[in-house]
Chains A and B, each alone.
Chain A
Amino acid sequence: MAHQWGMVIDLDRCTGCEACVVACHAENNIATVSPEEAARGRTMHWIHVERHWEGEYPNVRARFRPVLCQQCGAAPCEPVCPTYASYHTAEGLNAQVYNRCIGTRYCANACPYTVRVFNWFSPEWDKPLHLQLNPDVSVREGGVMEKCTFCSQRITAAEIHAQAENRELRDGDVTPACVQSCPAGAMVFGDLSDPTSQVSRLARLARGSKLLEELGTLPAITYLERE
């Protein structure tokens, strides 16, 4: 049976430190866009941390929620793509084929989580910053939509590694960059089709809920609410 990759994010552990955000930039060759473009809302974050204020001073609270592609089971981004650049993989990922994408941005329009980002320009790195690029991940060009892949390069690498050792993938073999860096251990990744995996066990907790689940998107990410 194919793996069904999923994630649990424990909001009671998350402290809003944003290590995940920079880890994602470093792992996935995400460009920075300059202050001018950022002011136009064109930053390229695949993951961001939402901050929600509640109440007024002095009875005020802030809540954090890291939001990345929810890898929906019924993804609104997929059926709208005229070129089949957005498609659903057998392992439950909302994949994006960059060289099919013609930049209609219908998918970003359809996504209720606003986690798809568009390359308004081809990215540039002031030399020698290009040396930081991760050879395991392709660099996207201008006119192309991009998004979180659950670090599919790491999934592939772990599968190859397991194959070379002539065994099945084990729970914990795959760790996306955000999960690996998370200092408070708020993020857990794994196979939801394996009921014994850590991610499956956590996803069944009573604190669990999906983001905007009333839309029927069937996200693969479960948030555990802050107590």
Chain B
Amino acid sequence: MRRRDFLKIAAVGGAAVTIDGCGDHATQLIHFIPEETLIPGLAVWRPGVCNQCSAGCGLQVKVMQGDAEVVRNGQSGLIKMGLAKKLEGNPQHPVNHGKLCARGQAGLQVTYNPDRIQQPLKRTGERGAGQFARIGWDEAIENLVTHLSPLASEHPPQSLAFLTRPLMGQRRTLVERFLSGFNGAQMVSFEPFDDSVLREANRLSFGHSQLPTFDLARSNYVVCFGADFLGTWNSPVAHNVGYGAMRQGRPGNRGKFVQVECRMSQTGANADEWIPAQLGTEGHLALAFAHVIVNEHLVKAESAGTAGSRIDGWSKGLPDYSPDAVARKTGVAAEIITRLAREMVTAGSGVAIVGGAPLAQTNGLFTALAVNALNELLGGVGRPGGVCFSPGLPLDESKRRPANAAEPRLISVRTFAEQVLSAREPDTIKVLLVNGANPVFAAPTGWRVREALDKVPFIVSFGNFLDETSNLADLILPDHSYLESWMDDVPESGTVDAVLSIAPPAMLSLHETRALPDVLLDVSRHLGGEASKALPWKSYEEMLQATFTPLRHSVGSIAADTDEEFWGKLKQQGGWWSSNRVGPPKSSPPVASFAPVKSEDPTWDGAATEYPFQFLPYVSQQFLDGTHANLSWLQELPEVLSTAIWSSWVEINPQTAARLAIGQGDLVEVSSQHGRVRAPAVLSPGIAPDVLAMPAGQGHEEYGRYATGRGANPVHVLAPQMATATGSLAWASTRVKVARVGSGDLILFSGGPTEFRAEKLSR
């Protein structure tokens, strides 16, 4: 078909269909007209907000004119449009300073992924069979409204739930407001490797229930307990920027870095001293450092303030944590403990970091509070070279929710599944909305999420892709990609400034998808009543403008005389940030009624006699929790320590492997009391002899052509054990056994000189 014919048909098709919201005919026609502002061959750079993890980095998107095959109103054709060609960091952005990580760089492949859902789908076969029929947006919205309107009018409690990965920025506000129209609607948040233990500990120690920000660039000494902060944890790009400056940014002053962990991570590989300690005893080690510091009168115990008071025995000099006692528990020699403790103090401006596996134990809160107390003792909290908490935006938070609206109940996926499975008709969930969360893949089998979803009468997914969870949906309303959407975020950490990242769509949508916020606005208009009163905006753009324009009156990166001018500049610059650096954290009212934590050992699932190994799943450098396993650039990116590509594997200490007659690349079976998983072995000198480690993210049963059927999912082995304080999954508390079962299909990167060649599989 010629383009001219296509345009005619498209225009006619557009007129025949009536869609509210973004569907007015003029807008639809514009989608088919080449963008006048683009000159062929010349790139324009547009702002963006990275959505590949929750760090909220600012983007610059290189957009050039190109020919794209698109489908509009059932007609396919070729149009000229602006296409994103490369992603870079926004140099002005206070979190990532113009830089981007490997996963951020691969973000183009989300938008251009061949397995994207291109238009609304309705289930036709059995649930889970993967049979869907394409439908139009009118029918899709009507279908959803039909299912939601009885819930909005009759008000049966708790019949609607919204299962989501953590929502960025105003999306969260919008969804909360949407749910406020339904009696007792629940927000079910799911993040496989979440940081809720650390947030809780930070609330108790410092009065901030959020992830910490580190001033690494000005640190002289960094001691980190288990967090992969240069690879995958918290705000990795911000950490890398600071780390580079800490090492070589100050002539004559190179900061020292000590990493405590039982399996060498990408982060640990950079340490000056790598200290393997027994998993789950990191809190004891932190308190042993504190013991030495206090008892050698290097720093007074009282200077640790509230954070210190959370630890039982702090004011008495921590008598239970002498280096000798803790050495027996942790496996770290007493001399090392004493030496490192002295070093931390004499170096000045030191900082302690904790995250990842140490907090994914049953005693995670103890560990986090112990490290927080050490941090305060080192004088690093709120000081240069230490730790602080990013301030929120200077906006009136009371306007977040409409008056009288209760906050929707936030529950975990585990609680949700329990509720559904134990509920009697009719007080059960009627409709489940799913946004970007994939608990069927990433939650332990013991939580019975799949069974629970089977009992939900109607499931709606807003996913871009068919995955293990959205495959169970009855209706799929595909979202835009993040380059096609209005994006906004207020980064939780990674900067000392108050930061808003915000950007208009960098390109038009490739497929017949619609942005989730606009779909919810549309649905609420159809529903009327309470639901629509809470959401008075015509579009998400209008909501963002109304929310963020008041920032004009605060001192920050944008000076403007009018609201319109401010909004224009905000869109152009990709965000707003306060130019004034924040001081030490505000002193928050201490949380009363909290008994100081006593020494607590981790509880392991499984007897050591039958299951001799501690099992450590870890967040993948390429795929994080598995969200990015469908991007081919990342599948073919060698994991930096194992050099494995297109694979998953089990890391074993070479001596352990020799004892069990396991060779490099052999297929091994790892089993716990709860499940088993098979993957090839990688012999790694950087892992303790009694630990087996495995990256998360592979082993998808349904996630597009690059991920499906590839590798194995370590989650199948995990015990459904919880961190006692917060109820989040203690994902590093399972014991396992291992045996060789055959030859495997490990693929190692084969480029590069000598060493890699020697490692190539002999079989």
Contact A43 B749 (CB under 8 A): yes
Instruction: Give the chain A neighbours of B750 by CB distance below 8 A.
Output: 41, 43
Contact A19 B112 (CB under 8 A): no
Contact B753 A131 (CB under 8 A): no
> In whole angstroms, what is the CA distance A58 to B688 when docked?
8
Partner of B86, one of A21, A55, A64, A134: A134
Partner of B645, one of A22, A38, A61, A180: A38
Contact B108 A185 (CB under 8 A): no
Chain B residue with the shortest CB-CB distance to A46 = B751
A210 within 8 A of B: no
Instruction: Give the chain B neighbours of A127 by CB distance below 8 A.
Output: 69, 114
Known: A18-B637, A19-B99. A48 touches B68 (CB 8 A): no
B89 within 8 A of A: yes
B204 within 8 A of A: no
Chain B residue with the shortest CB-CB distance to A25 = B633
Q: Which of A128-176 contact B (CB under 8 A)?
A: 128-135
Known: A16-B266, A18-B640. A183 touches B247 (CB 8 A): no
Known: A26-B86, A26-B87. A181 touches B641 (CB 8 A): no
Instruction: Give the chain B neighbours of A69 by CB distance below 8 A.
Output: none
- Convert B602-639 into 0s and 1s, putting 1 for each residue whose CB lies closer than 8 angstroms to a CB of A: 00000000000000000001000000000011111110
Contact B753 A134 (CB under 8 A): no
B510 within 8 A of A: yes
Stretch binding the partner chain, chosen from B156-164, B234-242, B375-383, B438-446:
B234-242
> In whole angstroms, what is the CA distance A87 to B642 when docked?
35
Chain A residue with the shortest CB-CB distance to B634 = A22
Q: How far is the CB of B684 from chain A (nearest CB, A)?
A: 8
- Convert B249-274 into 0s and 1s, putting 1 for each residue whose CB lies closer than 8 angstroms to a CB of A: 10000100000000010110110001
A192 within 8 A of B: no
Contact A15 B686 (CB under 8 A): no
Instruction: Give the chain B neighbours of A15 by CB distance below 8 A.
Output: 230-231, 240, 243-244, 266-267, 270
Chain B residue with the shortest CB-CB distance to A126 = B114
> In whole angstroms, what is the CA distance A186 to B104 when docked?
18
Instruction: Give the chain A neighbours of B635 by CB distance below 8 A.
Output: 32, 35
A214 within 8 A of B: no
Partner of A134, one of B85, B101, B689: B85
Instruction: Give the chain B neighbours of A185 by CB distance below 8 A.
Output: 99, 241, 244-245, 249
Contact A16 B99 (CB under 8 A): no
Chain A residue with the shortest CB-CB distance to B689 = A57
A49 within 8 A of B: yes
Chain B residue with the shortest CB-CB distance to A202 = B248
Q: How far is the CB of B264 from chain A (nearest CB, A)?
A: 6
> In whole angstroms, what is the CA distance A186 to B99 when docked?
12
Contact A22 B102 (CB under 8 A): yes
Known: A45-B751, A64-B269, A183-B96. A128 touches B510 (CB 8 A): yes
B201 within 8 A of A: no
Chain A residue with the shortest CB-CB distance to B114 = A126
> In whole angstroms, what is the CA distance A132 to B756 when docked?
31
Chain B residue with the shortest CB-CB distance to A30 = B633
Q: How large is the interface on A (under 10, 10 to 19, 20 to 34, 35 or more residues)?
A: 35 or more
Q: Which of A1-57 contact B (CB under 8 A)?
A: 10, 12-13, 15-19, 21-23, 25-27, 32-33, 35, 38-39, 41, 43, 45, 48-53, 55-57
Known: A13-B244, A15-B266, A35-B646. A57 touches B687 (CB 8 A): yes
Stretch binding the partner chain, chosen from A74-82, A95-103, A110-118:
A110-118
B179 within 8 A of A: no
B100 within 8 A of A: yes
Known: A50-B752, A51-B641. A60 touches B237 (CB 8 A): no
Q: How far is the CB of A199 from chain B (nearest CB, A)?
A: 15
Partner of B753, one of A43, A50, A51, A53: A50
Contact A21 B637 (CB under 8 A): yes
Partner of A16, one of B64, B88, B640: B640
Q: Which of B691-741 contact A (CB under 8 A)?
A: 705, 710
Known: A26-B87, A114-B751. A56 touches B636 (CB 8 A): no
Q: Which of B68-127 contact A (CB under 8 A)?
A: 68-69, 83-89, 96, 98-106, 108-109, 112-114
A221 within 8 A of B: no
> In whole angstroms, what is the CA distance A61 to B635 when docked?
26
B653 within 8 A of A: yes
Q: How far is the CB of A197 from chain B (nearest CB, A)?
A: 18
Contact A17 B633 (CB under 8 A): no
Contact A60 B241 (CB under 8 A): no
Instruction: Give the chain B neighbours of A134 by CB distance below 8 A.
Output: 85-86
B685 within 8 A of A: yes
Known: A32-B632, A32-B636, A51-B640. A17 touches B240 (CB 8 A): yes
Chain A residue with the shortest CB-CB distance to B761 = A39
Contact A53 B85 (CB under 8 A): no
Instruction: Give the chain B neighbours of A10 by CB distance below 8 A.
Output: 244, 248
> In whole angstroms, what is the CA distance A92 to B114 when docked?
40
Contact B247 A62 (CB under 8 A): no
> In whole angstroms, what is the CA distance A30 to B507 when docked?
23
Contact B102 A21 (CB under 8 A): yes
Chain A residue with the shortest CB-CB distance to B115 = A126
Instruction: Give the chain A neighbours of B99 by CB distance below 8 A.
Output: 19, 181-183, 185
A-B contacts besides A26-B87, A56-B654, 13 pairs, CB < 8 Å: A12-B248, A13-B248, A17-B236, A18-B102, A41-B751, A43-B750, A58-B276, A60-B274, A64-B640, A129-B113, A131-B510, A181-B99, A184-B241
The 6 closest A-B pairs by CB, nearest first: A183-B240, A184-B244, A41-B750, A35-B646, A62-B269, A22-B105
Show the binding face of B for A, using Cβ within 8 Å: 41, 64, 66, 68-69, 83-89, 96, 98-106, 108-109, 112-114, 230-231, 236-237, 240-241, 243-245, 247-249, 254, 264, 266-267, 269-270, 274, 276, 510, 621, 632-638, 640-641, 643, 645-647, 653-655, 685-689, 705, 710, 745, 747, 749-753, 755-756, 760
